[in-house]
């Protein structure tokens, strides 16, 4: 009898555990969706961006760029990034069509020879312009690109583990801190490498609300714990009134932005 | 030249008018950039022909100015170029760009001197035809002269349509007496005439349709007008007769982007009274990215080049194979290396190349370019003249 009881208890415990796991997954996804919904409806935005690269000896190097983003309801966002400095790459620009599922489409404009080149979006884990940001860190964060597990609540912070769907990602998982009192804005992300060791931490600072709805950080600091290098992104002149359309994200627009 | 000046003056007047209107609204953006280059170009071997030099130190200046208004939808862009060199023909200046542009909704209009690039392959640029090549400036043909044009571009859901009206033809410059990459006879740019009675003022047109659909990027183009490449005819005495023929050129370029693989094709059919031919470049580029989390990308390139003109192909790429590798370190200094080799499948001729660059600090860049012409077959009608012209070029750029 004891034996039978044992089985029943185990089965019960296992199913409770799996229900619990299922709950954690559901809750994680719900939080990600809530954060996505809270940021829906901005249509388009432009922002100036300064990237400060710091090596382990504290030497710094700067890049300035300009970003335009177009929000799409049915598919991922479109974005256009144009470099202003370093001067030798001035006018170099990238146009990215993010897709909720499958590979993103990406074009690179080389202003010296006026060439638009379709490039592979395969390189997700590689560094963006020598910085501590990987391409995947800067691409549009679509809900469909991760699977979710809710971990815990700490005061007003909800901590969710995100596992990238794409096997080409450089991470096994990301641990994301959402602020439930501030429209689920992200406060911090810990990145774990393919060996599941802590690789980087991204902190969001100087949040400001735009259009009474959208939280945007003035500073994003990425610290690489393994190389001791850091990259700071400073955002300025956020504009949510530019009323951009798909025509501002064509290959002609890409060429115009770099001239 | 007088008419060119007239075009310039008209452009400047139009621009001043447009700018004056906007200035009252006070929403003008200015941008001035200046690039200085000092370089040394050295040839390994002694000259093939009398007068040719071995060492070519030179300096170049590239100022540019952009004025934009109407949230960037209207602009005037001006980019000039000047080089001072040992070879008098290589000492030259050019208006690379001087144009007014207006974009509205899904269309765009450009008027003035502009550069336009078409194509997808790396070892050869067949489809690209709008601009004349600045042949004394670049071995790979990627440096171009500004082309006067009126361009109208329309973006639709089923592709982009581009119309070009090209009112003036610019001749290609060839190396002077002291320069390398020339024939025994120095080609005088001005002595090369036209098939067309209207000469450089023949009114030329071009059309291009391009579309990006899923993993496909396709372009179809047609050009009707003065050819950009002069046609060489050799008579029995070996004398060269060269002229710019009236050509019709239809081109196709296609790239299929399948994960890390880029499949590329360019092909043209060019016809004129004197000569008709097809040419093709096709290949693949494969990139292994972020190798062992080092951030380094290594690209492998392979292309096949065919040209029906055979020996008369100006670039001597008639039945050749290209192999190359692109190494991007993705470091703070944007260090890059491009290695390549072209081998003729019919004979022993081979050309090896290296291009490398690295930024120093925030506003200096060092570039090294080398070409090695190896085992050039003596039967190669054009390329055999360049058999002693292997070179290395070191350039330092300063940006202000």
Q: How many CA atoms lie within 13 A of B342 on its CB side?
A: 23
Phi, psi of A37 (to 5 degrees): -65, -40
> Nearest chain A Cα to B213, which residue?
A105
ipTM of the complex: 0.91
pLDDT of B42 higher than 60: yes
Say what the pLDDT of residue B20 is. 59
Residues in A lying within 8 Å of B, measured between beta carbons: 53, 55, 61-62, 85-90, 103, 105, 107, 113-120, 122-123, 125-127, 129-130, 170, 193, 242, 245, 247, 250-253, 256-257, 259
Asked if A120's CB is within 8 angstroms of B261's CB, the reply is yes
When CB atoms are compared, the residue of B77, B257, B397 closest to A88 is: B397
Which strand (E) or helix (H) includes residue B139? none
- Nearest CA of chain A to the CA of B349: how many Å? 28
Say what the pLDDT of residue B140 is. 80
Classify B353 as helix, strand or coil: strand
Say what the pLDDT of residue B19 is. 59
Which residue is listed with tokens 């050799």?
A: B234
- A19-75 pLDDT, tens per residue? 667 788 999 999 999 999 998 999 999 999 999 999 999 899 999 999 999 999 888
Q: Which residues of A touch B365 (CB under 8 A)?
A: 88
Say what the pLDDT of residue A4 is. 57
- Residue count (chain B): 400
Classify A22 as helix, strand or coil: helix
When CB atoms are compared, the residue of A53, A120, A259 closest to B66 is: A259
> Nearest chain B Cα to A193, which residue?
B293
Asked if B160's CB is within 8 angstroms of A127's CB, the reply is no
**pLDDT band with cut points at 50, 70 and 90 for residue B84:** very high
Gap between the Cα atoms of B398 and B94, Å rounded: 20
Q: Which residues of A touch B103 (CB under 8 A)?
A: 252-253, 256
What stretches of chain A show up as alpha helix (H) in DSSP?
Answer: 2-38, 135-138, 251-258
Asked if A88's CB is within 8 angstroms of B399's CB, the reply is yes
Say what the pLDDT of residue A123 is. 83
> Nearest chain A Cα to B71, which residue?
A242
Give chain A's mean pLDDT.
90
- B264-282 pLDDT, tens per residue? 999 999 999 988 999 999 9
When CB atoms are compared, the residue of B33, B155, B287 closest to A120 is: B287
Q: Tokens standing for B120? A: 């997808």
Q: Which residues of B touch A55 (CB under 8 A)?
A: 332
Which residue is listed with tokens 């001072």?
A: B84
> Nearest chain A Cα to B97, which residue?
A259
Gap between the Cα atoms of B145 and B80, Å rounded: 10
Gap between the Cα atoms of B104 and B70, Å rounded: 10
**Partners of residue B337 on adjacent β-strands:** B327, B356
**DSSP state, A99?**
-
pLDDT of B2 higher than 60: no
Gap between the Cα atoms of A83 and A66, Å rounded: 7
Pick the closest to residue B160 from B118, B194, B196, B202 (CA basis). Answer: B118
**pLDDT band with cut points at 50, 70 and 90 for residue B62:** very high
pLDDT of B108 higher than 80: yes
Say what the pLDDT of residue B106 is. 94
**pTM, to two decimals:** 0.90
Q: Tokens standing for B234? A: 């050799």
- B301-319 pLDDT, tens per residue? 999 999 998 666 666 678 8
Say what the pLDDT of residue B379 is. 79
CB B262 within 8 A of CB B285: yes
Pick the closest to residue A51 from A99, A84, A89, A92 (CA basis). Answer: A84
Specify the range with the lowest mean pLDDT, choosing from A156-170, A223-237, B6-20, B162-176. Answer: B6-20
- Residue pairs spanning A and B at CB distance below 8 A: 113
- Spans of chain A below 50 pLDDT: 1
């Amino acid at each position: 009898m004891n034996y039978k009881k044992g089985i029943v208890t185990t089965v019960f415990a296992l199913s409770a555990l799996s229900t619990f796991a299922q709950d954690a997954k559901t809750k994680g996804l719900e939080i990600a969706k809530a954060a996505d919904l809270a940021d829906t409806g901005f249509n388009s935005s432009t922002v100036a961006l300064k990237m400060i690269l710091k090596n382990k000896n504290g030497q710094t190097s700067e890049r300035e760029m300009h970003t335009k983003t177009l929000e799409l309801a049915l598919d991922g966002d479109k974005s256009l990034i144009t470099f202003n400095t370093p001067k030798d790459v001035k006018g170099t620009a990238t146009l990215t069509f993010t897709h909720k599922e499958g590979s993103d489409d990406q074009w690179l404009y080389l202003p010296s020879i006026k060439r638009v080149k379709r490039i592979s979006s395969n390189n997700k884990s590689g560094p963006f312009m020598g910085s501590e940001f990987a391409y995947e860190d800067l691409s549009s964060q679509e809900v469909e690109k991760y699977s979710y597990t809710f971990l815990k609540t700490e005061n007003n912070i909800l901590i969710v583990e995100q596992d990238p769907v794409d096997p080409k990602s450089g991470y096994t998982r990301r641990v994301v801190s959402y602020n439930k009192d501030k429209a689920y804005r992200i406060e911090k992300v810990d990145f774990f490498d393919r060996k599941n060791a802590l690789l980087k931490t991204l902190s969001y600072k100087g949040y400001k609300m735009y259009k009474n709805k959208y939280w945007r950080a003035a500073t994003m600091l990425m610290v690489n714990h393994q190389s001791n290098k850091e990259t700071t992104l400073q955002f300025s002149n956020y504009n949510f009134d530019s009323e951009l359309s798909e025509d501002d994200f064509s290959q002609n627009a890409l060429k115009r932005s770099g001239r | 030249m007088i008419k060119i000046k007239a075009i310039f003056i008209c452009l400047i007047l139009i621009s001043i008018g447009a700018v004056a209107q906007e200035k009252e609204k006070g929403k003008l953006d200015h941008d001035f950039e200046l690039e200085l280059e000092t370089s040394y170009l050295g040839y390994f071997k002694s000259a093939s022909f009398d007068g040719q030099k071995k060492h070519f130190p030179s300096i170049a200046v590239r100022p540019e100015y952009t004025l934009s208004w109407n949230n960037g939808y209207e602009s005037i862009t001006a980019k000039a170029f000047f080089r001072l060199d040992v070879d008098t023909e290589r000492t030259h200046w050019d208006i690379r760009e001087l144009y007014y542009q207006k974009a509205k909704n899904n269309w765009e209009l450009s008027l003035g001197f502009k550069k336009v690039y078409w194509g997808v392959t790396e070892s050869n640029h067949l489809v690209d035809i709008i601009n004349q090549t600045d042949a004394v400036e670049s071995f790979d043909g990627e440096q171009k002269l500004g082309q006067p044009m009126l361009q109208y571009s329309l973006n639709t859901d089923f592709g982009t349509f581009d119309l070009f009206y090209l009112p003036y033809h610019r001749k290609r410059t060839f190396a002077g007496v002291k320069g390398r990459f020339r024939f025994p006879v120095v080609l005088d740019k001005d002595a090369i005439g036209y098939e067309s009675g209207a000469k450089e003022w023949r009114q030329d047109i071009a059309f291009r349709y391009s579309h990006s659909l899923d993993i496909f990027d396709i372009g179809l183009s047609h050009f009707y007008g003065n050819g950009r490449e002069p046609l060489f005819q050799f008579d029995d005495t070996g004398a060269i007769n060269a002229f710019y023929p009236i050509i019709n050129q239809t081109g196709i370029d296609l790239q299929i982007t399948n994960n890390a693989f880029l499949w590329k094709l360019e092909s043209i059919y060019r016809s004129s009274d004197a000569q008709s031919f097809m040419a093709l470049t096709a290949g693949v580029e494969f990139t292994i990215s972020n190798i062992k989390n080092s951030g380094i990308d290594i690209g492998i390139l392979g292309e096949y080049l065919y040209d029906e003109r055979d020996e008369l192909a100006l670039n001597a790429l008639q039945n050749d194979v290209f192999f190359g590798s692109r190494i991007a370190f993705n470091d703070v200094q944007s260090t890059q290396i491009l290695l390549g080799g072209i081998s003729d499948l019919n004979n022993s001729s081979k050309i090896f190349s290296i291009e490398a660059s690295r930024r120093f600090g925030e506003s200096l860049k060092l570039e090294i370019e080398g070409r090695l012409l190896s085992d050039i077959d003596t039967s190669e009608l054009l390329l055999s003249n360049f058999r002693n012209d292997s070179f290395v070029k070191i350039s330092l750029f300063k940006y202000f």
